[in-house]
Structure 1
Amino acid sequence: MATITVVGIGADGWDGLSLSAQLELGGAEVIIGSGRQLALLPASDALAVPWPSPMLPAVEPLLAEHRGKRVCVLASGDPMMFGIGGTLVRLLGAAAVRVVPHPSSVSLACARLGWPVEEVEVVSLVGRPVESLLAQPNRRLLVLSAGAATPGEVAELLSTRGYGPTPMVVFEELGGAGERRHDGTAATWSARVGGLNVIALDCLLAPGVSPLGRTPGLPDDAFDHDGQLTKREVRAVTLAALAPLPGQLLWDVGAGSGSVAIEWMRTHPSCGAVAVESRAERAEAILRNAQLLSVPALTVVHGRAPAALSTLPRPDAIFVGGGVSGDGVLAACWEALRAGGRLVANAVTLESESVLTRWQAGVGGALTRIEVSRAAPIGGFTGWKPMMPVTQWEVVKT
């Protein structure tokens, strides 16, 4: 297979390219890139092909059309930093892609700010909703913007979530002749910026606002729910049993408010989840909770298990919080679970507890009894109010 060369280019255009990058482009028969990127190159005999919109569906057909020719693909900055380089490697394999990198906007922004790159979290909002931005106190974020409107959207989101005092720096045309810097805070942001920009955030929480961490066990009132909620203490134990790992997919069956699926996804940006819920009003609440708690990519399926499970992607872990005693629910979950995957099921009734006991006797795993009491007023005094005990079954599929 012919090798595709991916050349990173900055806002400084041709003059900012290394000699090796210029030689690659000079020897190309076909150069593919955005209109803005192609305009940065001098005239040549190469065929200039702009990406259509949307771009991703066109990648394979365009490459096939020019198979056998010397093809260069342009990328903004470092092609392997949220760029087309990663897409091409996934499609063609690493051996078929040669990358000539350029300083990324992340490297340039950190250089301007004096921020060590390894201490900064990078978030891309290109093709992603602004609600996926998860701010936490005293953390530095670099946000790859989707366009001119993104800084204002980020400022509004931060202010709504209690991070109004956060200092914001927006760089336009980083590395180019038109580079500009705008400074402000989320609460007072009003700058007008161009479409090519990067946002730097030094996250600062407003006084009196309690932060929400990534560690499982968010307060119950962080969720919109009708009482169908895995309570905070039990939820923390449940997530520990599920043991989320980066890149893994969870099914949350009988999701209620979606609290377990949401907390699973908050543990790492690459974690995915599908929340299955039979009641429409609860499914709608799950969507609201996912937006508010920075995981809008959560997939919500309105349907009843086991029928609703048949077309879902195969999971790495499954939590059954509702419908344990439903006909065929656990059997369908067990059949779908990958080898090495974890299944955790919680029961609060005698009927569902007996189902878990039978399954544990059949395929193994551990049964745990979880009992929690919370302090509550008793007249003029305070006493312990017990919550309903939960029986939890945890098993790894071999």
Structure 2
Amino acid sequence: MDRITVVGIGPGSDGFLVPAAKDAIAGAEILAGAPRHLVPFNGSGKILLPMEGELDSFLDVLAEKRHCGKTVLLLSGDPCLFSLLGKITARFSPDEYEVIPGVSSFQLLFAKLGIQWNGTEIASLHGRPLEDACRFIRGDCRTLFFLDSKNTGPKVAKYLCGAGFPDREAVLAERLGYHDERIIRSSLSDLSRGSSSEGLALLLLEAGPLPPSALGVLPDEWFDRTPGVPLSKAACRALAVSLLYPLDGQTVLEVGAGSGGITVELARRAGKGIVYAVERLPEAAAVVERNIHRAGAGSSARIVEGEAPEALASLPSCSRAVVGGHGGSAEQIIRSSWRKLLPGGRLLVTANMPSTADRAWHTLKGLGAVPCLMHVNASSAVGAGESWMLSAANPVFLIYGDKNTDKDGTIHGTS
């Protein structure tokens, strides 16, 4: 079978090409890639296939041309990091292509700075919302962003400063590996006052403190509210996300989002995961949407307007599930959510009424789980003259159970 060779051509000049990549290019009859990558091969006698127009159409042509001769697809940097390789793996079977790695631009940057990159959080803002930047910044390690022409270094810095991130050292690197490369050592605040810069660039931020809004759960008063739409209180939200830990990278289903209190806290911790929040009331779904974006977690949440359990049918399987509002159909919604739950996953129910908590407990038990129940009666301090007094929140029940697998592979709770 004719195979496509995906070649990483490194950053900038061909001085960063590995020997295997040079051999593959030299032996190619068909070269595919971005137009700028093909310019050096004009007049070489090779068939040149520029990557233009719709990506799917380009892949169609690539699939056809690979039968006409040895085909090499040129990709910038290392194909195994933020590249078209993901589309290749989805389109072709493993025996239809091979990959020759290359030097990534971020490797070159760290080499020029003379520092190690292990332990650095590496993220891409290519074609992604600017607010995604908040999700990848840690207090204990560096963060490296791959930028594009929309999310430039100054624009990202300005957004982070506006989001309350304290100042820290920053490095903006443009056109790495070319004769006109530019590496600017600066600070987040100074960079935010700069003008737009080269699109394909890297932004390296040193470790530093996070803004207060990034710590813990958000206070009740932070949330936008709509009359008649409930909001789970801070103690309930804190316990819910703790009982569902870890959340990073997980697919989470939430039924009955209300004002989005739990939705926001789940999305803030989901990282590369996705929270699907189902809400039947349009006015509630609108306020959830506002709160999600105010928290800078829009890309980690999908708001699904509809009535459960019917609205769950088109949603993917999940590793975590939360049932809050249920409209009187608690048992049915719990069972439907449980069916969406993957083996090893956890389902959590929040309830205000003892009768609902009891139904949730018995439903989970009937599904094969070993349910746990926690009753929370929290109070918080409010000012009273020169001192303070306690103000009680409504009591809440947290009921949860795990879809476990026996040693023989039997999954509990498939009914």
Question: Quick check: TM above 0.5?
Answer: yes
Aligned counterparts of 1:375 and 1:231: Cα–Cα separation in 2: 14
Instruction: Tell which deviates more after alignment, 220-229 or 24-33.
Output: 220-229
Matched, 1:61 2:60: yes
Residue 104 of structure 1, CA deviation: 0.7
Bigger mean CA offset, 267-276 vs 238-247? 238-247
The one-letter amino acid paired with 1:270 is K
Which residue does the alignment assign to 1:314? 317
Once residues 40 and 222 of structure 1 are traced to their aligned partners in structure 2, the CA distance between those partners, rounded to angstroms, is 56
* Pairwise CA distance, 1:157: 0.9
Aligned pairs (5 A) from 1:281-320: 281-297=283-299, 298-320=301-323
Identity value in percent: 29
* Residue identity in the other structure for 1:264: L
Match of 1:279 in 2: 281
1:246, distance to aligned residue in structure 2 (A): 4.4
Which AA in structure 1 matches 2:231?
A: L
Which of 387, 393, 396 is matched with 2:399 structurally? 393
Does the residue aligned with 2:311 lie in a helix, a strand or coil?
Answer: helix
Shift of 1:273: 1.2
Cα deviation, 1:157-177, whole Å, max 9, x if unaligned, reads: 112111263333221110111
Unpaired runs of 5+ residues, structure 1, are none
**Structure 2 residue identity aligned to 1:118:** N
Q: Is the 8 A contact 2:120 2:144 kept in 1?
A: yes
- Judge conservation of contact 2:5–2:100 (CA < 8 Å) in 1: yes
From the superposition, tell whether residues 59 and 270 of structure 1 become closer, same or farther in structure 2 (CA, over 3 Å). farther
In structure 1, what is the equivalent of residue 120 of structure 2? 120
Match of 1:366 in 2: 372
Counterpart residue number, 1:375: 381
Tell me the residue number matched to 2:200. Answer: 196
1:38-74: per-residue Cα shift (whole Å, max 9, x none)?
A: 225464222211223442x346423321242322111
* Equivalent residues of 1:21, 1:100 under 8 A apart: yes
What residue is the counterpart of 2:49 in the other structure? 49
Q: Which runs of 5+ in 2 are unaligned?
A: 404-411
Distance 1:262 1:87, change over 3 A: farther
After superposition, give the CA deviation of every residue in 1:165-207 in whole Å (9 maximum; x if it has no partner): 333322111011121123443334314422321112225559x
Match of 1:330 in 2: 334
Residue 179 of structure 2 is aligned to residue 177 of structure 1 = yes
Q: CA RMSD in A?
A: 2.6
- Contact in 1 for aligned 2:52/2:58 (Cα 8 Å): no
> What is the alpha-carbon distance in structure 1 between the residues aligned to residue 32 and residue 144 of structure 2?
28
Q: How does 1:84-95 map to 2 (within 5 A)?
A: 84-95=84-95
For residues 16 and 386 of structure 2, the distance between their equivalents in structure 1, rounded to whole angstroms, comes to 74
Task: Report the secondary structure of 1:126's partner residue.
Answer: coil
**SS state of the match for residue 118, structure 1?**
coil
Secondary structure in 2 aligned to 1:316?
strand
Matched, 1:235 2:237: yes
Distance of 1:94 and 1:352 partners within structure 2: 51
Question: Secondary structure at the residue paired with 2:230?
Answer: coil
- Distance between the aligned counterparts of 1:346 and 1:59, measured in 2? 49
Displacement of 1:352 in angstroms is 2.3
CA drift at 1:293: 2.6
Q: Deviation per CA, 1:252-272, whole angstroms, max 9, x where unpaired?
A: 111123333333343352221
Aligned counterparts of 1:12 and 1:42: Cα–Cα separation in 2: 18
1:81-113 deviation per Cα after TM superposition (whole angstroms, max 9, x unaligned): 111234323443545432222211111122233
Q: Which amino acid aligns with 1:9?
A: I
Give the 3 Å change call, closer, same or farther, for CA 166–41 of structure 1 in structure 2.
Answer: farther
Contact 2:6–2:98, Cα closer than 8 Å, also in 1:
yes
Change (3 A) 1:95 1:247: farther
CA distance in 1: counterparts of 2:261 and 2:40, whole angstroms = 48
In the alignment of these two chains, the number of paired residues is 393
1:335 partner amino acid: R
The CA deviation string for residues 209-261 of structure 1, in whole angstroms up to 9 with x for no partner, is 52514xx6343344334473222222222122223354321111111233333
**Contact 1:170–1:182 (CA under 8 A) maintained in structure 2:** yes
CA distance change for structure 1 residues 360 and 264 in 2, over 3 Å: closer, same or farther?
A: same
**Aligned match of 2:345:** 341
Runs of 4+ in 1 over 6 A off after TM superposition: none
Give the TM-score taking structure 2 as reference length.
0.85
Residues 378, 329 of structure 1: CA spacing in aligned structure 2 closer, same or farther, 3 A cutoff?
same
- Structure 2 distance, partners of 1:193, 1:19, is 33
Name the structure 2 match of 1:130. Answer: 130
Q: Which amino acid aligns with 1:33?
A: G
